[in-house]
Structure 1
Amino acid sequence: MSIRHGLLALLDQGPRYGYQLRTEFEARTGATWPLNVGQVYTTLGRLERDGLVAPDGEDEEGHLFYAVTEKGRAELRAWFDTPVPRTNPPRDELAIKLAMAVTVPGVDVQAVVQAQRRHSMKALQDYTRLKARALTGGPSAGAADGAELAWLLVLEQLIFQAEAEVRWLDHCETRLASHRAQPAAAGAQTPARRRVKEHLGER
């Protein structure tokens, strides 16, 4: 998630202060990735340092507004025009957990997979209910000016992601079962195993 470019996109529509940016960011993403005001102002400070935004006055309550610069608009357009790279995928905690589980003695990997599947299925059901509410104009439907569509796009991405995770967990369980069966099947066919059986008088 690029908070930096998300804030630039909001400022491209007009000057805003920190709390406004936080509120609008969360409205457009359905608060899927909540921000705190400190995080927003830290990012604004970096954007100002890089010449992408500039202070744009204060209101009567002392809120400091920021406006995007031409350099900032160019940065934003480049972000929109450039595909999100997949050459360095983000670390996935679940994939790391399973990779560790299959190599650590004493871990019931199947139980880990089943527990995660239950959790992922519940998340999928929750996302699906939220989508139904959004489509019928419920409390999570979002605001005007495209916020409802923005929230639906984010929500549907979460649904597809949860569906893919459940399918992957099914695949993991099949792979684990296959892996458990391989040593016994392979071992039964090795000449060394046959010689050991013959030596012990087993046929």
Structure 2
Amino acid sequence: MSIRHGLLALLERGPRYGSQLRTEFESRTGATWPLNVGQVYTTLSRLERDGMVEQDGEDGSGHALYAITDPGRAELNSWFRTPVDRSNPPRDELAIKLAMAVGAPGVDIREVIQSQRHHTVQAMQDYTRLKARALGTEPVNRDEVAWLLVLEQLIFQTEAEARWLDHCEARLVRLSMLPPDEDTAAAPEPAAPVTGTAAGHPAEQR
């Protein structure tokens, strides 16, 4: 998550102070990724150091205001135009857990999968209820639409995770049917990094 670019995007709408930026960031994302004021001011200090923002006086209550600069605006525009890099994906704790659980002594990996599936489905149901509540009234401002986009991404993500867990369980069933000597083949070569458009097709929009 780029807090740096998120703050620049908010400052593009006009000068803001630290706690105001935190409130607006959380409003846009439904507090899915909460910030604390310390994070905001640390990021603002780095942006100021890099010439992306500058201090712009104070508001009527004495809060120090920050404004985006031309280099900051250029950085923001570049971020919007540049696809999110998928060639070096972040570590995924669930994928690592299942990879380590395969063949681990005393670990029932199917139990691990079933436990995770229960949690994932519960999260998906919670997100779906939030979406239904959000759609109870038509979104009327940018913050409401932005939160709905984030919420739908979470729903698609948990749906994909549930399908992947089903796939993992099916693969383990096939593995259990192999003769012991075929169960110890050499590890495959690492996959080449994905470049360009990510493999596969994006989830169908609703």
Band the TM-score falls in, shorter-chain normalisation: 0.7 to 0.9
Deviations 1:2-22 (A, max 9, x none): 110000000000000010000
Deviation at 1:160, TM superposition (A): 0.3
For residue 120 of structure 2, what is the amino acid of its counterpart?
A: S
Shift of 1:35: 0.5
Which residue of structure 2 aligns with residue 90 of structure 1? 90
Matching of residue 181 in structure 1 with residue 177 in structure 2? yes
- Counterpart of 1:63 in structure 2 is 63
Structure number, greater radius of gyration? 1
Q: Which has the higher helix share?
A: 1
Aligned to 1:128: 128
Aligned match for 2:167, one of 167, 171, 179: 171
Task: Give 1:185 deviation, angstroms.
Answer: 9.6
Structure 1 residues 186 and 55, CA, compared in 2 at 3 Å: closer, same or farther?
closer
Determine which of 137, 144, 150 is the counterpart of 2:146: 150
Unmatched segments (≥5 aa) in structure 1:
188-203
How many pairs are equivalent?
A: 183
The runs of 5 or more residues in structure 2 that have no matched partner are 184-206
* Residue matched to 1:15: 15
Q: Kindly provide the amino acid, as one letter, of the partner of residue 90 in structure 2.
A: P
Question: In the aligned structure 1, how far is the partner of 2:182 from the partner of 2:86?
Answer: 37
The letter of the residue matching 2:144 is E
Q: 1:105 Cα shift?
A: 1.4
The one-letter amino acid paired with 2:62 is G
Code of the residue aligned with 2:70 in structure 1: it is E
Q: Secondary structure at the match of 1:182?
A: coil
Give the whole-Å Cα distance in 1 for the aligned partners of 2:61 and 2:7.
22
Deviation at 1:58, TM superposition (A): 1.3
Rounded to whole Å, the distance in 1 between the matches of 2:40 and 2:141 is 22
CA RMSD of aligned residues (A): 1.7
Query: Aligned pair 1:114/2:110, yes or no?
Result: no
Give the letter aligned to residue 155 of structure 1: L
The verdict on how the C-alpha distance between 1:69 and 1:55 changes in structure 2, with shifts beyond 3 A counting, is same
CA distance in 1, matches of 2:62, 2:103: 57
Question: For 2:179, what is the secondary structure of its paired residue?
Answer: helix
> 1:104 offset after TM fit, Å?
2.1
**TM-score with structure 2 length normalisation?**
0.85
Instruction: Give the aligned residue type for 1:75.
Output: E
Cα deviations by residue, 1:88-130 (Å, 9 ceiling, x for unpaired): 1111111011111114211110110000000000000000000
Instruction: Name the aligned partner's letter for residue 147 of structure 1.
Output: D
Q: List per-residue Cα deviations over 1:107-158 (Å, max 9, x = no partner).
A: 11011000000000000000000000000139xx7xx641111011000000
Counterpart of 1:88 in structure 2: which amino acid? Answer: N
Residues in 1 aligned to 2:90 and 2:171: alpha-carbon distance in whole angstroms: 24
Which amino acid in structure 2 is aligned with residue 2 of structure 1?
Answer: S
1:170 to partner: Cα distance: 0.1
Name 1:200's counterpart in structure 2.
Answer: none
